[in-house]
Amino acid sequence: MEIDDWDGVETAARIAAGEVSPGEVVRAAIARAEAWEPPLHAIATPTFEAALRDADEAAA
């Protein structure tokens, strides 16, 4: 099962267990958002850098 297949509860449990870092989860979400953005045009203001910074701070 890939990160994209996890629900929020499983994602939180895997982060808590140290199986995955917050940064890895955010990077996977960014990759998925970037893949779907061209046909959807759903992201008005991408704040990916801030999300990565917050994930790194959460992991520290």
Q: What angle do CA 5, 44, 53 make, to 5 degrees?
A: 65
Residue 46's pLDDT is 92
Residue 27's pLDDT is 96
Structural domain spans, the chain: 3-59
Residue 53's pLDDT is 97
The DSSP line for 8-59 is HHHHHHHHHTTSS-HHHHHHHHHHHHHHHHHHH---SS--HHHHHHHHHHHH
Residue 1's pLDDT is 78
Which pTM was predicted? 0.84
pLDDT over 90 at 60, yes or no: no
Q: What percent of the chain has pLDDT over 90?
A: 88
| pLDDT per residue as tens digits for the range 29-47 | 999 999 999 999 999 999 9
